[in-house]
Structure 1
């Protein structure tokens, strides 16, 4: 058919996917998109058109970036006009890849993009844009650091994370898991509240995580860790990464957030928590590392604290935080099958609790609304009983 008509059709379908993503729930269901296409993704004819256009687009984009890399390596000077054209190309790419990621949220589209078009193989080279110089990556594509480039990286990682839900794509990505981890770990670390590089004792202060940046990286990491003990161990010992993932389990949105942003915050918490669960599955003693090195206690105390009422008051988040605190005390006090009781660590935990005024923060949840059908008050009482009656010895 007419290529111009096909591009317009893609714009229409992409617009529906993008608009629908604003109404996605915490499970990532694009309700508007599903409703318009009867729960089956896009129709076969439209799917073929969109798939072919996406495939051609990604091929041309990768080719364009490789040519740009060669020009830079040959010290070719870019004119202002070329730079503007370059920026515009990336602005267009962001909306296209974002639409692709949103459309991939539907299982039918995702499976088609992977199994029919192998889109994951077309997108994976894009993770090399501005990767860390210290990696000495031969595929590194160096571009000027701008907000446009950062947003481009975000949508690329998110799209890969969606495709990784498909088993065939996941198998391919796992073959390159070491490269992927080396590229996404710095992104996750960069947006944790504090990353400590233990090998050099250097503390790096960073900004609070931006959900729009970190969501793609954590989204891609989660499926890679599933049933993968080798990678779980690698992530555990990557400097600062464990601390960063734990901090993201407490990623809390604000009451004023739009629905889509609240959904993204919930997804970050869910995916980072799942990353921790995969690591705990293959290392039963990792809880001690989480407590002593990854700020696990502080993160969970923050989860249940009533900080001026500006965070979303989600009973599920509060309950999970309280259960985690109870688990910390139980394991340190009584031990488990993997290790004996840890009196010295328990003493350090109790000192931290008292110095930070954690008991007062948790105590506020005794006034949690009883109208809501949850266990917040009951868990708060249990938690306070453990903390208050714990002697420092």
Structure 2
């Protein structure tokens, strides 16, 4: 780890964004090769074991890593939203080629590194309090969804969407009550509904994404409804979340998954769909009414 700390960590600061005022910035002429190098640095650091807390503390405190990771995500999400306004398939294809050669790998490695770092509420707070960061993560979960140019391109764009969802799921897992409030404000349940969507034809339609999405719907509503170790029940947030699920067509999508047997080993989509449905119904149970057995999962 000493070699990594001395030789790899400084490369985090290749051409740091000017607006974060990094004192360790290494300014050199920008090029696709430099972007690829920085991407490789982020990906290498993303693979540091989750339990190496000392090294992660160095990364967070000595290198102020979070703004270095969120900046390219915010910039990329903003540009992708702008590019969606074009009606030309050829223009989209040309733009994709440009993105693929210059920035998608950096965005994906930034997401992977960020996901690896989100392991407590303090990190969640830093991300949440970074302007546009949460909105950008939500935006990137839909990046180029249902737009297909080639198998390689599909794999690259799916990696962006998958890792963006991973960051949000970790924020959900480790965040406190105020973090959950911000997730509701950002319409986080829309991310979950898209992950499980098959009936509408607008989702990933991949079994592992569906299972994770259903599982996170269940836990998100459960924590809001019952409270979690760091916050009490949040009835207003529960109501808003259930309303958002309904507005996004989530009830119909969950219903459709209740008959989905999945295609792989150890995949039980039907079970997870029933859990999610039960948790939504459970939110309507008035206090004092008997709880069914599945309430105590």
TM-score where L is the length of structure 1:
0.52
Q: Counterpart of 1:306 in 2: which secondary structure?
A: coil
- Report what 1:126 is aligned to: 14
- Report what 1:189 is aligned to: 74
C-alpha deviation, 1:159, in angstroms: 1.1
TM-score where L is the length of structure 2:
0.66
**Do the aligned residues in 2 keep the contact of 1:248 with 1:269 (CA within 8 Å)?**
yes
1:360 corresponds to 2:252: yes
- Report what 2:63 is aligned to: 177
Q: Counterpart of 2:77 in 1: which secondary structure?
A: coil
Structure 2 residue ranges without an equivalent (≥5): 85-95, 287-297
Q: Counterpart of 1:127 in 2: which secondary structure?
A: coil
C-alpha deviation, 1:362, in angstroms: 3.0
**Mapped partners of 2:236, 2:106: distance in 1:** 39
Q: How does 1:83-162 map to 2 (within 5 A)?
A: 114=4, 118-121=7-10, 123-128=11-16, 131-132=17-18, 134-136=19-21, 139=25, 141=27, 149=31, 151-152=32-33, 154-162=35-43
C-alpha deviation, 1:244, in angstroms: 2.7
1:240 paired residue among 110, 129, 132: 132
2:114 paired residue among 196, 221, 225: 221
C-alpha deviation, 1:306, in angstroms: 1.8
**Do the aligned residues in 2 keep the contact of 1:300 with 1:321 (CA within 8 Å)?**
yes
**Do the aligned residues in 1 keep the contact of 2:38 with 2:106 (CA within 8 Å)?**
no
**Mapped partners of 1:315, 1:329: distance in 2:** 21
**Mapped partners of 2:69, 2:110: distance in 1:** 6
C-alpha deviation, 1:286, in angstroms: 5.4
**Mapped partners of 2:281, 2:119: distance in 1:** 39
Structure 1 residue ranges without an equivalent (≥5): 1-110, 196-204
Q: Deviations over 1:106-129 (max 9, x none)?
A: xxxxx89848x92543x344233x
- Report what 2:276 is aligned to: 383
**Do the aligned residues in 1 keep the contact of 2:144 with 2:157 (CA within 8 Å)?**
yes
**Mapped partners of 2:222, 2:67: distance in 1:** 35
**Do the aligned residues in 2 keep the contact of 1:194 with 1:206 (CA within 8 Å)?**
yes
Q: What's the C-alpha RMSD, in Å, of the aligned pairs? A: 4.3
- Report what 1:8 is aligned to: none
Give the number of aligned pairs.
262
**Mapped partners of 1:127, 1:114: distance in 2:** 19
**Mapped partners of 2:63, 2:145: distance in 1:** 30
Q: Rg: which structure is higher?
A: 1
1:329 corresponds to 2:217: no
